[in-house]
Amino acid sequence: MGCYCTKETIEINGRRFYVQKRLGEGGFSVVDLVEDETGKTFAMKRILCHATEDEQMARQEAEFHQNFNHTNLIPLEEWKMLKYSGRVPEVVLVLPYYRGGTLQDEVERLAKQGEHMSEQRLMRIFKGICEGVRALHSASPEPLSHRDMKPGNVMLDDRGTPVIMDFGSMAVAKIEIKGRSQAVALQDTAAEKCSMLFRAPELFHVESHCIIDEKVDIWSLGCVLYTLAFLQSPFEPVYQRGDSLHLAVLGRNFKFPENSRYSEGLHDLVSSMLVVEPMERPSISWVMDRVDNLLQDLENRV
């Protein structure tokens, strides 16, 4: 352990954490690398709470973490609401620090080096992600939806196991929209918290009378699987051209590369999830059955 005399110190439940450096910044929070008194490192997410609503949402994020003890969902080490004199209060979440980075980091590394994942490794990673999503969709007393599934929100631990993080967009899965004001509110929230390239079509334009449910995650998973295979979102070319992403999503305006090295089964699985009508998308259990079948086929070829 180094000298902590000049480090910012944050005490939570009798434990002291020393801020080492800034790891990243987002629209609603920052993440610092911290170290406890034993020298163990963690990632500390610091959520600034400018209003009571911000505080409620941050507390809810911490509570969502506490609902789970799952290999593929990031655990919460500690959390606390911090109030200061003359400064905006913040909720801090102490989380594991994964040196392997995110799946997005892995995608960018592969693209830079002109490499690709083997289909077997890709499907094993995707299965782990689906395991985490299934835990959310099976949550009690009410199923939950992540709503921002993307490679940048999946960490890789030391063994290469995928771990879903960032519960800030998470919500009760099934929401009944009754009227235009509720629709606009959800649409605005989605625009703020759900990444465009992975956002389900029903969140681009929320109908005045509809039901939004966990199928938003299934669409996002389709985008994630495509990205792991082809190292970009299925709608990245449209976005790069500056064309309407919303129209591209509604029209399922994507295609598989002609020189794809992956099986027809993987292509079919992506296509089955990228269905515009939510009711026609499969459940996470159906997706996992298909993943297991694909993995079995791959192992039988070895």
Q: Give the architecture-level CATH label for domain 9-96.
A: 2-Layer Sandwich (3.30)
Comparing 7-11, 41-45, 56-60, 141-145, the range with the smallest average pLDDT is: 7-11
Three-state DSSP class for residue 263: coil
273 close to 222: Cβ distance less than 8 angstroms = yes
Question: What does the pLDDT read at residue 2?
Answer: 55
Torsion of CA 212, 226, 75, 217, to 10 degrees: 10
How far is Cα 60 from Cα 131, in angstroms, rounded to an integer? Answer: 22
Span 247-266, pLDDT tens digits: 999 999 999 999 999 999 99
How big is the chain by its Cα radius of gyration, in Å?
Answer: 20
pLDDT in tens, 30-61: 999 999 999 999 999 999 888 888 899 999 99
Give the residue among 229, 249, 220, 231 at the shortest CA–CA distance from 133.
220
Q: Provide the 8-state DSSP code for 100.
A: T
Mean predicted confidence (pLDDT) in 276-286: 97
Tell me if 171 sits within 8 A of 150, measured CB to CB.
no
Which residues carry out catalysis? Answer: 148
Domain residue ranges of the chain, discontinuous segments joined by +: 9-96, 103-301
Mean pLDDT, rounded, of the chain: 93
| Average of per-residue pLDDT across 259-280 | 97
Decide if pLDDT at 26 tops 80. Answer: no
pLDDT at 24: 87
Strand, helix or coil at 125? helix
pTM score of the predicted model: 0.93
CB-CB neighbours of 210 under 10 Å: 16
CA 263, chain centre distance (Å): 26
Q: What are phi and psi of 174, to 5 degrees?
A: -100, 115
The fold for domain 103-301 equals Transferase(Phosphotransferase); domain 1 (1.10.510)
**Higher-scoring residue by pLDDT: 7, 194:** 194
Task: Kindly state the DSSP code that residue 283 receives in the 8-state scheme.
Answer: P
Structure confidence at residue 163 (pLDDT): 98
**pLDDT tops 60 at residue 7:** yes
Rounded distance between C-alpha atoms, residue 246 and residue 235, angstroms: 10
